[in-house]
Amino acid sequence: MQKRKLGRSNLEVSAIGLGCMGMSFSYGPPKDKQEMTSLLRAAVERGITFFDTAEAYGPFINEELVGQALAPFRRQVVIATKFGFKIDLTVERGLNGLDSRPEHIRQVADDSLKRLKTDVIDLFYQHRVDPNVPIEDVAGAVKELIQAGKVRHFGLSEAGVMTIRRAHAVQPVTALQSEYSLWTRTPEKEVIPALEELGIGLVPYSPLGRGFLTGAIKESAAFDRSDFRSRLPRFTPEALKANQALIDMLGSIAQRKKTTSAQIALAWLLGQKPWIVPIPGTTKLRRLEENIGAATVELSSDDLRDIAAAASKITVHGDRYPEHLERMTGL
């Protein structure tokens, strides 16, 4: 697979990464560990070198899965993980607010290193901006971890432009991870121009709209209570029905290009900037191979413009998150 560098850093990764969250967290019960181990190793064999996890996924079990599965390939791959949540296993989903105090960041780094079976974290993101801790203190704590050899690169997730600039002034930010896709284009207005100016890479999560942009989720879809999408405004039956126009548009382009809707959605992202690396998640080998195939789909500048123009005429119904979670995005 082609490689890309995240911004002006020397961090080179496969053009498409693999988001590992859904293997253990958010989309129903944790999947079979042996099957997911096989899938992670199949990804490496097919050229993926960029894997995304977090202590919050599970919590903890996703890092353990990724660490164990990728141990034989550790020198070939880049592993990104995250800090910033207060983990409390007595509450639902195990997350009880934010905590980016420097002492907590240091503890998370040590614990993540053990679970990932490694001596260095390639990319360490702040999972969500903590309004109670100055971002300069967060960046300073990660800078110390980099100087200590425990972390290679610093990242932010769902941060706004001013936060990015303040953090970058203390410790250069290698990558920003934020939701970005044909149905969530918020970063285009302010964030992407700032990233280009500062030389920071963009890692879009949910680049396939939590599965919606594949065309596989119909308006009649019912989600189990353990599936995070059951609580998202954009996945109500009414919103799914209204948003079908986006799928119809993608489907017609995919048919013309003799490819799939998912591949068009990913290829469109890859075509935006050479320093954008989407991390679609999956638990199925056929979907993994389909996603990888997007890296070879060629979209001309006219194609990219036509897709963006068509998408702009479609109003996406439903917020990304319930209001209390939307407030944590920092955008």
Each residue's pLDDT tens digit, 174-195: 999 999 999 999 999 999 999 9
Domain presence at residue 258: no
Q: How confident is the model at residue 330 (pLDDT cuts 50, 70, 90)?
A: very low
Mean pLDDT of the chain: 95
Domain presence at residue 328: no
* Distance separating alpha carbons of residues 119 and 92, to the nearest angstrom: 31
Domain presence at residue 23: yes
Q: What pLDDT score does 327 carry?
A: 65
Domain count for the chain: 1
Domain presence at residue 90: yes
Other residues' Cβ atoms within 10 Å of the Cβ of residue 204: 25
Q: What pLDDT score does 107 carry?
A: 98
CATH code, domain carrying 185: 3.20.20.100
Domain presence at residue 70: yes
Owner of token pair 């290698």? 174
Task: Provide mean pLDDT across the span 114-129.
Answer: 98
| Neighbouring-strand partners of residue 19 | 52, 281
Domain presence at residue 30: yes
Task: Provide mean pLDDT across the span 49-55.
Answer: 98
Find the catalytic residue in 57, 125, 180, 205: 57
Domain presence at residue 27: yes
Q: Annotated catalytic, 57? A: yes
Model pLDDT for residues 253-283, shown as the tens digit of each residue: 999 999 999 999 999 999 999 999 999 999 9
Q: How confident is the model at residue 329 (pLDDT cuts 50, 70, 90)?
A: low
Domain presence at residue 131: yes
Checking if the pLDDT of 331 tops 70, the result is no
Q: What pLDDT score does 302 carry?
A: 93
| CA–CA distances in Å: residue 260 to residues 48, 268, 291, 307, 314 | 20, 12, 10, 14, 20
Supply the range of the domain harboring residue 144: 3-211+273-296
Checking if the pLDDT of 100 tops 90, the result is yes
Q: What pLDDT score does 120 carry?
A: 98
Q: Which residues contact 312 (CB under 8 A, 6 or more apart)?
A: none
Task: Provide mean pLDDT across the span 14-34.
Answer: 96
Q: What pLDDT score does 28 carry?
A: 87
Other residues' Cβ atoms within 10 Å of the Cβ of residue 180: 24
Going by the DSSP 8-state scheme, the letter that residue 79 receives in this structure is: E
- Residues 283, 293: contact at Cβ < 8 Å? no
